[in-house]
A = this chain, B = another copy of it.
Amino acid sequence: MPGALSTDLYELTMAAGYHAAGNDAQASFELFVRELPTGRSFLVAAGLEQAVGYLEAWRFTLDDISYLRSLPELSGASSDFFDTYLPGLQFTGDVWAVLEGVPVFAGEPILRVTAPLAEAQLVETALLSIVLFQTLVASKAVRVVEAAAGRSVVEFGGRRAHGPEAALHAARAAYLAGCQATSNVEAGSRFGIPVSGTMAHSWVMAHMDELTAFARYTAVHGARSILLIDTYDTVAAARLIVSAGLRPAAVRVDSGDLAGLSAAVRAVLDAGSLQETKILVSGDLDEHRVAALVASGAPIDGFGVGTAVTTSADAPSLSGVYKLVAVERESGMVPLAKLSPGKRTVPGEKQVWRVARSGETQRDVVATADELGPPDGVPLLRRLMRRGVPTESAPALDAIRDRCRTAVAALPDGVRRLTDAERFPVELSPDLDRLSRRVGGRDDQGP
Protein backbone atom coordinates (compact mmCIF):
# COMPACT_ATOMS: atom_id res chain seq x y z
CA MET A 1 0.00 0.00 0.00
CA PRO A 2 1.54 3.33 -0.99
CA GLY A 3 1.94 5.83 1.83
CA ALA A 4 1.12 9.52 1.85
CA LEU A 5 4.61 10.42 0.63
CA SER A 6 3.77 8.70 -2.67
CA THR A 7 2.93 12.08 -4.10
CA ASP A 8 4.47 14.92 -6.07
CA LEU A 9 6.13 17.69 -4.15
CA TYR A 10 3.86 20.26 -5.75
CA GLU A 11 0.87 18.71 -4.05
CA LEU A 12 2.58 19.57 -0.77
CA THR A 13 3.65 23.08 -1.76
CA MET A 14 0.04 23.72 -2.78
CA ALA A 15 -1.30 22.15 0.40
CA ALA A 16 0.97 24.43 2.42
CA GLY A 17 -0.42 27.33 0.40
CA TYR A 18 -4.05 26.39 0.98
CA HIS A 19 -3.34 25.88 4.65
CA ALA A 20 -1.60 29.25 4.95
CA ALA A 21 -4.58 30.95 3.32
CA GLY A 22 -7.05 29.03 5.47
CA ASN A 23 -8.61 27.76 2.28
CA ASP A 24 -10.41 24.50 2.93
CA ALA A 25 -12.99 24.92 0.19
CA GLN A 26 -14.43 21.71 -1.19
CA ALA A 27 -13.21 20.87 -4.65
CA SER A 28 -14.02 18.20 -7.19
CA PHE A 29 -11.39 16.60 -9.35
CA GLU A 30 -12.14 14.11 -12.11
CA LEU A 31 -9.78 11.45 -13.38
CA PHE A 32 -10.18 10.70 -17.06
CA VAL A 33 -8.21 9.68 -20.12
CA ARG A 34 -7.85 12.40 -22.75
CA GLU A 35 -7.40 10.19 -25.80
CA LEU A 36 -7.48 6.46 -26.38
CA PRO A 37 -4.12 5.03 -27.41
CA THR A 38 -3.67 4.54 -31.16
CA GLY A 39 -5.45 1.42 -32.32
CA ARG A 40 -7.58 1.09 -29.19
CA SER A 41 -11.33 1.55 -29.11
CA PHE A 42 -12.20 1.22 -25.44
CA LEU A 43 -10.71 0.96 -21.97
CA VAL A 44 -11.68 -1.25 -19.04
CA ALA A 45 -11.82 0.53 -15.68
CA ALA A 46 -9.67 -1.17 -13.05
CA GLY A 47 -7.74 -0.48 -9.87
CA LEU A 48 -10.59 1.07 -7.90
CA GLU A 49 -10.27 -1.38 -5.03
CA GLN A 50 -6.63 -0.41 -4.53
CA ALA A 51 -7.50 3.26 -4.92
CA VAL A 52 -10.12 3.10 -2.20
CA GLY A 53 -7.76 1.09 0.01
CA TYR A 54 -5.10 3.74 -0.43
CA LEU A 55 -7.51 6.55 0.50
CA GLU A 56 -8.75 4.69 3.56
CA ALA A 57 -5.23 4.16 4.88
CA TRP A 58 -3.95 7.58 3.83
CA ARG A 59 -2.00 9.21 6.70
CA PHE A 60 1.25 11.11 7.10
CA THR A 61 3.37 9.28 9.65
CA LEU A 62 5.62 11.13 12.05
CA ASP A 63 8.62 9.98 10.03
CA ASP A 64 7.00 11.33 6.89
CA ILE A 65 6.41 14.67 8.52
CA SER A 66 9.90 14.84 9.93
CA TYR A 67 11.27 14.34 6.42
CA LEU A 68 8.96 16.98 4.99
CA ARG A 69 9.96 19.46 7.68
CA SER A 70 13.60 18.99 6.63
CA LEU A 71 12.96 20.08 3.06
CA PRO A 72 14.15 23.55 2.04
CA GLU A 73 11.38 23.40 -0.59
CA LEU A 74 8.80 23.49 2.23
CA SER A 75 10.59 26.00 4.42
CA GLY A 76 7.84 28.52 3.72
CA ALA A 77 5.21 26.31 5.34
CA SER A 78 4.09 27.24 8.83
CA SER A 79 4.97 25.20 11.88
CA ASP A 80 1.24 24.63 12.32
CA PHE A 81 1.26 22.90 8.94
CA PHE A 82 3.77 20.34 10.24
CA ASP A 83 2.71 20.22 13.87
CA THR A 84 -1.04 20.06 13.56
CA TYR A 85 -2.34 19.95 10.04
CA LEU A 86 -0.37 17.09 8.49
CA PRO A 87 -0.53 14.81 11.56
CA GLY A 88 -4.31 15.20 11.68
CA LEU A 89 -4.97 14.62 8.00
CA GLN A 90 -7.06 11.78 6.78
CA PHE A 91 -9.16 11.48 3.71
CA THR A 92 -12.61 12.91 4.39
CA GLY A 93 -13.90 13.15 0.86
CA ASP A 94 -16.46 11.54 -1.39
CA VAL A 95 -15.40 9.29 -4.24
CA TRP A 96 -17.54 8.41 -7.22
CA ALA A 97 -16.21 5.96 -9.78
CA VAL A 98 -17.03 3.69 -12.66
CA LEU A 99 -17.02 0.16 -11.31
CA GLU A 100 -14.09 -2.06 -12.15
CA GLY A 101 -14.51 -4.14 -15.26
CA VAL A 102 -16.76 -1.62 -17.00
CA PRO A 103 -15.66 -0.32 -20.43
CA VAL A 104 -14.96 3.41 -20.55
CA PHE A 105 -14.00 5.83 -23.28
CA ALA A 106 -11.89 8.93 -23.74
CA GLY A 107 -13.12 11.99 -21.90
CA GLU A 108 -15.35 10.08 -19.51
CA PRO A 109 -14.62 10.49 -15.82
CA ILE A 110 -13.47 7.18 -14.33
CA LEU A 111 -13.27 8.58 -10.83
CA ARG A 112 -14.27 11.78 -9.07
CA VAL A 113 -12.94 13.02 -5.75
CA THR A 114 -14.74 15.73 -3.80
CA ALA A 115 -12.80 16.89 -0.75
CA PRO A 116 -11.13 19.96 0.74
CA LEU A 117 -8.76 21.35 -1.89
CA ALA A 118 -5.52 20.26 -0.24
CA GLU A 119 -6.74 16.74 0.49
CA ALA A 120 -8.03 16.20 -3.01
CA GLN A 121 -4.73 17.50 -4.32
CA LEU A 122 -2.43 15.44 -2.09
CA VAL A 123 -3.94 12.13 -3.23
CA GLU A 124 -3.76 12.98 -6.94
CA THR A 125 -0.46 11.36 -7.86
CA ALA A 126 -1.05 7.98 -6.26
CA LEU A 127 -4.65 7.79 -7.47
CA LEU A 128 -3.51 8.42 -11.01
CA SER A 129 -0.76 5.81 -10.97
CA ILE A 130 -2.97 3.19 -9.28
CA VAL A 131 -6.03 3.62 -11.46
CA LEU A 132 -4.29 4.34 -14.74
CA PHE A 133 -1.94 1.36 -14.50
CA GLN A 134 -4.59 -1.28 -13.81
CA THR A 135 -6.89 0.32 -16.38
CA LEU A 136 -4.02 0.20 -18.88
CA VAL A 137 -3.38 -3.50 -18.31
CA ALA A 138 -7.03 -4.52 -18.18
CA SER A 139 -7.63 -2.64 -21.43
CA LYS A 140 -4.78 -4.50 -23.10
CA ALA A 141 -5.60 -7.91 -21.63
CA VAL A 142 -9.21 -7.77 -22.76
CA ARG A 143 -7.97 -7.53 -26.35
CA VAL A 144 -5.86 -10.65 -26.01
CA VAL A 145 -8.79 -12.47 -24.45
CA GLU A 146 -11.03 -11.37 -27.31
CA ALA A 147 -8.42 -12.51 -29.82
CA ALA A 148 -8.19 -15.94 -28.19
CA ALA A 149 -11.88 -16.48 -28.99
CA GLY A 150 -12.61 -18.78 -26.09
CA ARG A 151 -9.21 -20.44 -25.76
CA SER A 152 -7.57 -19.87 -22.43
CA VAL A 153 -5.17 -17.00 -21.87
CA VAL A 154 -2.72 -17.14 -18.98
CA GLU A 155 -0.82 -14.02 -17.94
CA PHE A 156 2.80 -14.72 -17.08
CA GLY A 157 4.55 -11.44 -17.72
CA GLY A 158 5.59 -10.58 -14.18
CA ARG A 159 9.27 -10.73 -15.00
CA ARG A 160 8.98 -7.90 -17.50
CA ALA A 161 6.56 -5.81 -15.47
CA HIS A 162 7.79 -2.53 -14.02
CA GLY A 163 8.83 -4.10 -10.73
CA PRO A 164 7.18 -6.66 -8.45
CA GLU A 165 4.27 -4.45 -7.40
CA ALA A 166 3.45 -3.73 -11.03
CA ALA A 167 3.62 -7.47 -11.69
CA LEU A 168 1.14 -8.11 -8.88
CA HIS A 169 -1.38 -5.52 -10.02
CA ALA A 170 -0.96 -6.39 -13.67
CA ALA A 171 -1.95 -9.95 -12.77
CA ARG A 172 -5.08 -8.65 -11.06
CA ALA A 173 -6.03 -6.40 -13.95
CA ALA A 174 -5.38 -9.11 -16.53
CA TYR A 175 -7.52 -11.57 -14.63
CA LEU A 176 -10.47 -9.24 -14.21
CA ALA A 177 -10.28 -8.57 -17.94
CA GLY A 178 -10.72 -12.24 -18.68
CA CYS A 179 -7.38 -14.02 -18.40
CA GLN A 180 -7.89 -17.45 -16.90
CA ALA A 181 -4.93 -17.53 -14.58
CA THR A 182 -1.60 -15.94 -13.73
CA SER A 183 1.85 -17.31 -13.09
CA ASN A 184 2.25 -14.73 -10.30
CA VAL A 185 2.06 -16.58 -7.00
CA GLU A 186 1.63 -13.45 -4.92
CA ALA A 187 -1.37 -12.48 -7.04
CA GLY A 188 -2.78 -15.90 -6.32
CA SER A 189 -2.24 -15.47 -2.63
CA ARG A 190 -3.43 -11.87 -2.35
CA PHE A 191 -6.34 -11.90 -4.77
CA GLY A 192 -7.33 -15.55 -5.07
CA ILE A 193 -6.49 -15.65 -8.76
CA PRO A 194 -5.93 -19.16 -10.16
CA VAL A 195 -2.22 -19.77 -10.68
CA SER A 196 -0.64 -21.69 -13.48
CA GLY A 197 2.86 -22.91 -14.16
CA THR A 198 4.83 -25.14 -16.43
CA MET A 199 8.61 -25.59 -16.42
CA ALA A 200 11.51 -23.50 -17.69
CA HIS A 201 14.10 -24.45 -20.28
CA SER A 202 16.55 -24.49 -17.42
CA TRP A 203 14.75 -27.52 -15.96
CA VAL A 204 15.37 -29.45 -19.16
CA MET A 205 18.93 -28.22 -19.46
CA ALA A 206 19.78 -28.97 -15.84
CA HIS A 207 19.11 -32.67 -16.43
CA MET A 208 21.36 -35.01 -18.38
CA ASP A 209 18.78 -35.40 -21.12
CA GLU A 210 15.25 -34.33 -22.02
CA LEU A 211 13.64 -37.65 -21.11
CA THR A 212 15.12 -37.57 -17.62
CA ALA A 213 13.89 -34.00 -17.24
CA PHE A 214 10.34 -34.91 -18.29
CA ALA A 215 10.27 -38.07 -16.18
CA ARG A 216 11.55 -36.33 -13.05
CA TYR A 217 8.95 -33.58 -13.41
CA THR A 218 6.13 -36.01 -14.05
CA ALA A 219 7.20 -38.10 -11.07
CA VAL A 220 6.31 -35.16 -8.85
CA HIS A 221 3.48 -33.42 -10.66
CA GLY A 222 1.83 -36.40 -12.33
CA ALA A 223 -1.21 -35.72 -14.47
CA ARG A 224 -0.93 -31.99 -13.77
CA SER A 225 2.42 -31.77 -15.53
CA ILE A 226 2.85 -29.29 -18.36
CA LEU A 227 6.03 -30.15 -20.22
CA LEU A 228 8.04 -27.57 -22.16
CA ILE A 229 9.09 -29.23 -25.38
CA ASP A 230 11.05 -26.69 -27.43
CA THR A 231 14.43 -26.76 -25.71
CA TYR A 232 16.03 -28.88 -28.44
CA ASP A 233 13.63 -30.27 -31.08
CA THR A 234 9.94 -29.71 -30.47
CA VAL A 235 8.43 -32.55 -32.47
CA ALA A 236 11.09 -35.02 -31.34
CA ALA A 237 10.27 -34.09 -27.75
CA ALA A 238 6.59 -34.86 -28.38
CA ARG A 239 7.58 -38.28 -29.75
CA LEU A 240 9.73 -38.85 -26.70
CA ILE A 241 6.78 -38.18 -24.43
CA VAL A 242 4.63 -40.65 -26.32
CA SER A 243 7.27 -43.36 -26.49
CA ALA A 244 8.04 -43.01 -22.79
CA GLY A 245 4.38 -43.43 -21.95
CA LEU A 246 4.14 -40.09 -20.14
CA ARG A 247 0.68 -38.55 -19.91
CA PRO A 248 1.12 -34.83 -19.24
CA ALA A 249 -1.84 -32.48 -18.92
CA ALA A 250 -0.29 -30.32 -21.59
CA VAL A 251 2.82 -29.47 -23.52
CA ARG A 252 4.12 -25.97 -24.12
CA VAL A 253 5.84 -24.64 -27.22
CA ASP A 254 7.69 -21.37 -26.64
CA SER A 255 9.55 -20.73 -29.91
CA GLY A 256 9.54 -21.38 -33.63
CA ASP A 257 6.58 -21.56 -35.99
CA LEU A 258 3.84 -21.99 -33.41
CA ALA A 259 1.10 -22.82 -35.93
CA GLY A 260 3.14 -25.43 -37.76
CA LEU A 261 4.66 -26.92 -34.64
CA SER A 262 1.35 -27.16 -32.83
CA ALA A 263 -0.13 -29.09 -35.75
CA ALA A 264 2.83 -31.45 -35.91
CA VAL A 265 2.81 -31.96 -32.15
CA ARG A 266 -0.96 -32.53 -32.14
CA ALA A 267 -0.52 -35.26 -34.74
CA VAL A 268 2.19 -36.97 -32.70
CA LEU A 269 0.19 -36.76 -29.50
CA ASP A 270 -3.02 -38.00 -31.11
CA ALA A 271 -1.22 -40.90 -32.76
CA GLY A 272 0.17 -41.73 -29.34
CA SER A 273 -3.28 -41.77 -27.72
CA LEU A 274 -2.64 -38.48 -25.96
CA GLN A 275 -5.74 -36.75 -27.34
CA GLU A 276 -6.37 -35.31 -23.86
CA THR A 277 -2.99 -33.63 -23.66
CA LYS A 278 -3.44 -29.96 -24.46
CA ILE A 279 -1.11 -27.72 -26.41
CA LEU A 280 -0.15 -24.34 -24.99
CA VAL A 281 1.95 -21.81 -26.81
CA SER A 282 3.89 -18.75 -25.70
CA GLY A 283 6.68 -16.46 -26.84
CA ASP A 284 6.22 -12.73 -27.44
CA LEU A 285 2.50 -13.08 -28.10
CA ASP A 286 0.11 -10.17 -28.31
CA GLU A 287 -3.50 -9.87 -29.45
CA HIS A 288 -2.56 -9.73 -33.12
CA ARG A 289 -0.40 -12.87 -33.02
CA VAL A 290 -3.01 -14.68 -30.99
CA ALA A 291 -5.70 -13.70 -33.50
CA ALA A 292 -3.52 -14.87 -36.38
CA LEU A 293 -2.89 -18.22 -34.70
CA VAL A 294 -6.60 -18.67 -34.02
CA ALA A 295 -7.41 -17.74 -37.61
CA SER A 296 -4.85 -20.24 -38.88
CA GLY A 297 -6.83 -23.04 -37.30
CA ALA A 298 -3.79 -24.22 -35.37
CA PRO A 299 -4.73 -26.81 -32.73
CA ILE A 300 -3.79 -24.56 -29.81
CA ASP A 301 -5.68 -24.85 -26.54
CA GLY A 302 -4.22 -21.95 -24.68
CA PHE A 303 -1.93 -18.95 -24.90
CA GLY A 304 0.63 -17.70 -22.42
CA VAL A 305 1.06 -13.95 -22.73
CA GLY A 306 3.65 -11.90 -20.95
CA THR A 307 5.25 -8.58 -21.71
CA ALA A 308 2.56 -7.43 -24.12
CA VAL A 309 0.00 -7.49 -21.32
CA THR A 310 1.97 -6.55 -18.22
CA THR A 311 3.52 -3.50 -19.86
CA SER A 312 0.75 -2.81 -22.40
CA ALA A 313 3.63 -2.86 -24.80
CA ASP A 314 2.09 -0.96 -27.71
CA ALA A 315 0.78 1.78 -25.43
CA PRO A 316 2.57 1.73 -22.09
CA SER A 317 0.71 4.68 -20.64
CA LEU A 318 -2.66 6.35 -20.84
CA SER A 319 -3.10 10.07 -21.28
CA GLY A 320 -4.85 10.09 -17.95
CA VAL A 321 -5.30 13.28 -15.95
CA TYR A 322 -6.95 14.43 -12.74
CA LYS A 323 -8.47 17.81 -13.26
CA LEU A 324 -10.22 20.32 -11.10
CA VAL A 325 -13.81 20.56 -12.36
CA ALA A 326 -15.52 22.48 -9.57
CA VAL A 327 -14.63 24.44 -6.48
CA GLU A 328 -16.66 25.72 -3.61
CA ARG A 329 -17.14 29.49 -3.60
CA GLU A 330 -19.53 31.58 -1.55
CA SER A 331 -22.27 30.87 -4.05
CA GLY A 332 -21.74 27.11 -3.85
CA MET A 333 -19.85 24.71 -6.12
CA VAL A 334 -18.67 26.59 -9.22
CA PRO A 335 -17.77 24.60 -12.35
CA LEU A 336 -14.29 25.22 -13.74
CA ALA A 337 -12.34 24.28 -16.84
CA LYS A 338 -8.71 24.41 -17.88
CA LEU A 339 -8.30 26.37 -21.10
CA SER A 340 -4.63 25.78 -22.01
CA PRO A 341 -4.18 25.18 -25.75
CA GLY A 342 -4.70 21.52 -26.58
CA LYS A 343 -5.49 20.71 -22.97
CA ARG A 344 -9.00 22.11 -22.51
CA THR A 345 -11.25 20.31 -20.11
CA VAL A 346 -15.02 20.11 -19.73
CA PRO A 347 -16.18 21.88 -16.58
CA GLY A 348 -18.29 20.64 -13.73
CA GLU A 349 -19.02 17.38 -11.93
CA LYS A 350 -20.27 14.78 -14.35
CA GLN A 351 -22.17 11.56 -14.64
CA VAL A 352 -21.87 9.12 -17.53
CA TRP A 353 -25.06 7.51 -18.78
CA ARG A 354 -24.80 4.36 -20.85
CA VAL A 355 -27.63 3.68 -23.22
CA ALA A 356 -28.35 0.16 -24.45
CA ARG A 357 -30.96 -1.29 -26.77
CA SER A 358 -31.81 -5.00 -26.96
CA GLY A 359 -28.77 -5.81 -24.87
CA GLU A 360 -26.33 -3.91 -27.08
CA THR A 361 -24.64 -0.80 -25.77
CA GLN A 362 -25.45 2.06 -28.14
CA ARG A 363 -23.88 5.25 -26.86
CA ASP A 364 -22.76 7.13 -23.78
CA VAL A 365 -24.02 10.50 -22.69
CA VAL A 366 -21.76 12.54 -20.43
CA ALA A 367 -24.03 14.78 -18.40
CA THR A 368 -23.77 17.12 -15.46
CA ALA A 369 -23.82 15.22 -12.18
CA ASP A 370 -27.14 16.66 -11.09
CA GLU A 371 -29.24 16.24 -14.20
CA LEU A 372 -31.35 13.24 -15.04
CA GLY A 373 -29.74 11.36 -17.90
CA PRO A 374 -31.53 9.78 -20.85
CA PRO A 375 -34.51 7.70 -19.70
CA ASP A 376 -33.07 4.53 -21.21
CA GLY A 377 -29.62 5.17 -19.74
CA VAL A 378 -27.83 3.67 -16.74
CA PRO A 379 -25.48 5.87 -14.70
CA LEU A 380 -21.93 4.50 -14.58
CA LEU A 381 -20.40 6.50 -11.75
CA ARG A 382 -21.30 5.12 -8.34
CA ARG A 383 -20.44 6.52 -4.95
CA LEU A 384 -17.65 4.36 -3.51
CA MET A 385 -16.73 6.56 -0.52
CA ARG A 386 -18.76 8.99 1.52
CA ARG A 387 -16.89 11.35 3.87
CA GLY A 388 -13.85 9.15 3.70
CA VAL A 389 -15.62 5.88 4.40
CA PRO A 390 -16.27 3.20 1.79
CA THR A 391 -19.96 2.88 1.05
CA GLU A 392 -19.81 -0.84 0.41
CA SER A 393 -17.31 -3.64 0.66
CA ALA A 394 -15.26 -4.36 -2.44
CA PRO A 395 -16.84 -6.92 -4.75
CA ALA A 396 -15.19 -10.28 -5.32
CA LEU A 397 -12.70 -10.26 -8.15
CA ASP A 398 -14.66 -12.98 -9.95
CA ALA A 399 -17.77 -10.79 -9.85
CA ILE A 400 -15.77 -7.97 -11.43
CA ARG A 401 -14.52 -10.40 -14.05
CA ASP A 402 -18.08 -11.49 -14.84
CA ARG A 403 -19.17 -7.88 -15.06
CA CYS A 404 -16.34 -7.16 -17.48
CA ARG A 405 -17.18 -10.11 -19.71
CA THR A 406 -20.85 -9.15 -19.86
CA ALA A 407 -20.20 -5.47 -20.46
CA VAL A 408 -17.59 -6.06 -23.16
CA ALA A 409 -19.85 -8.56 -24.89
CA ALA A 410 -22.56 -5.89 -24.98
CA LEU A 411 -20.38 -3.44 -26.91
CA PRO A 412 -21.10 -3.16 -30.62
CA ASP A 413 -19.09 -5.69 -32.65
CA GLY A 414 -17.50 -2.89 -34.62
CA VAL A 415 -16.14 -1.33 -31.45
CA ARG A 416 -14.77 -4.66 -30.22
CA ARG A 417 -12.80 -5.31 -33.39
CA LEU A 418 -9.05 -5.56 -32.82
CA THR A 419 -8.17 -3.44 -35.85
CA ASP A 420 -9.98 -0.61 -37.59
CA ALA A 421 -12.52 -0.54 -34.82
CA GLU A 422 -15.43 1.86 -34.92
CA ARG A 423 -15.48 4.81 -32.60
CA PHE A 424 -18.05 4.39 -29.84
CA PRO A 425 -20.37 7.40 -29.70
CA VAL A 426 -19.89 9.54 -26.61
CA GLU A 427 -22.01 12.69 -26.48
CA LEU A 428 -22.24 15.60 -24.10
CA SER A 429 -25.74 16.17 -22.73
CA PRO A 430 -27.32 19.48 -23.78
CA ASP A 431 -26.88 20.80 -20.22
CA LEU A 432 -23.20 19.89 -20.10
CA ASP A 433 -22.64 21.27 -23.56
CA ARG A 434 -24.21 24.58 -22.53
CA LEU A 435 -22.12 24.67 -19.36
CA SER A 436 -18.97 23.93 -21.33
CA ARG A 437 -19.63 26.82 -23.71
CA ARG A 438 -20.45 29.14 -20.85
CA VAL A 439 -17.21 28.34 -18.94
CA GLY A 440 -15.23 28.42 -22.18
CA GLY A 441 -14.29 32.08 -21.98
CA ARG A 442 -11.60 33.63 -19.82
CA ASP A 443 -14.17 36.02 -18.46
CA ASP A 444 -15.44 33.36 -16.13
CA GLN A 445 -12.17 32.79 -14.37
CA GLY A 446 -9.21 34.63 -15.78
CA PRO A 447 -7.59 37.81 -14.67
How far, in angstroms, from A212 to B291 measured CA to CA in the complex? 57
CB distance from A28 to the nearest CB of B (A): 11
- For this complex, 30 residue pairs linking A to B, each with C-beta atoms less than 8 Å apart, are A2-B165, A6-B185, A9-B184, A9-B185, A9-B196, A10-B197, A11-B200, A12-B197, A14-B202, A17-B199, A17-B217, A27-B206, A67-B189, A72-B224, A76-B221, A128-B159, A129-B164, A159-B322, A160-B318, A162-B316, A163-B165, A163-B166, A205-B327, A205-B338, A208-B445, A209-B447, A210-B447, A231-B338, A231-B340, A232-B442
Tell me, yes or no, whether A150 is within 8 Å of chain B by CB: no
Tell me, yes or no, whether A361 is within 8 Å of chain B by CB: no
In contact, B230 and A17 (Cβ under 8 angstroms)? no
At the interface with chain B, which of A119-127, A351-359, A369-377? A119-127
Tell me, yes or no, whether A414 is within 8 Å of chain B by CB: no
One digit per residue, 1 when the CB lies within 8 angstroms of any chain B CB and 0 when it does not, for chain A 324-359 equals 100100000000101111110000000000000000
A68 CB contacts on chain B under 8 angstroms? 185
How far, in angstroms, from A183 to B320 measured CA to CA in the complex? 18
CB distance from A59 to the nearest CB of B (A): 14
How far, in angstroms, from A163 to B169 measured CA to CA in the complex? 8
Tell me, yes or no, whether A114 is within 8 Å of chain B by CB: no
Tell me, yes or no, whether A158 is within 8 Å of chain B by CB: yes
One digit per residue, 1 when the CB lies within 8 angstroms of any chain B CB and 0 when it does not, for chain A 1-37 equals 0110111111111101100110101010100000000
In contact, A254 and B27 (Cβ under 8 angstroms)? no
A162 CB contacts on chain B under 8 angstroms? 129, 133, 136, 161-163, 166, 169-170, 311, 316
How far, in angstroms, from A233 to B341 measured CA to CA in the complex? 9
Give the residue name and chain of the B residue nearest to A327 (CB): B206
CB distance from A422 to the nearest CB of B (A): 27
Tell me, yes or no, whether A139 is within 8 Å of chain B by CB: no
In contact, B156 and A132 (Cβ under 8 angstroms)? no
- What is the interface of chain A, defined by CB distance below 8 A to chain B? 2-3, 5-14, 16-17, 20-21, 23, 25, 27, 29, 64, 67-68, 71-73, 75-77, 117, 121, 124-126, 128-130, 132-133, 136, 156, 158-170, 183-186, 188-189, 195-203, 205-206, 208-211, 216-217, 219-222, 224, 230-233, 236, 240, 254-256, 307, 311-313, 316-318, 320, 322-324, 327, 336, 338-343, 442, 445-447
Residue from B8, B13, B220, B312 in contact with A76 in the complex, judged by beta carbons closer than 8 Å: B220
Most buried by B among A9, A231, A232, A240: A9
In contact, B161 and A199 (Cβ under 8 angstroms)? no
A125 CB contacts on chain B under 8 angstroms? 158-159, 167, 184
Residue from B76, B185, B195 in contact with A222 in the complex, judged by beta carbons closer than 8 Å: B76
In contact, B130 and A164 (Cβ under 8 angstroms)? yes
In contact, A196 and B133 (Cβ under 8 angstroms)? no
How far, in angstroms, from A126 to B185 measured CA to CA in the complex? 11
A77 CB contacts on chain B under 8 angstroms? 220
How far, in angstroms, from A318 to B313 measured CA to CA in the complex? 11
How far, in angstroms, from A318 to B77 measured CA to CA in the complex? 43
In contact, B121 and A340 (Cβ under 8 angstroms)? no
How far, in angstroms, from A136 to B14 measured CA to CA in the complex? 32
CB distance from A71 to the nearest CB of B (A): 7
In contact, B128 and A20 (Cβ under 8 angstroms)? no
CB distance from A58 to the nearest CB of B (A): 12
CB distance from A127 to the nearest CB of B (A): 9
A208 CB contacts on chain B under 8 angstroms? 445
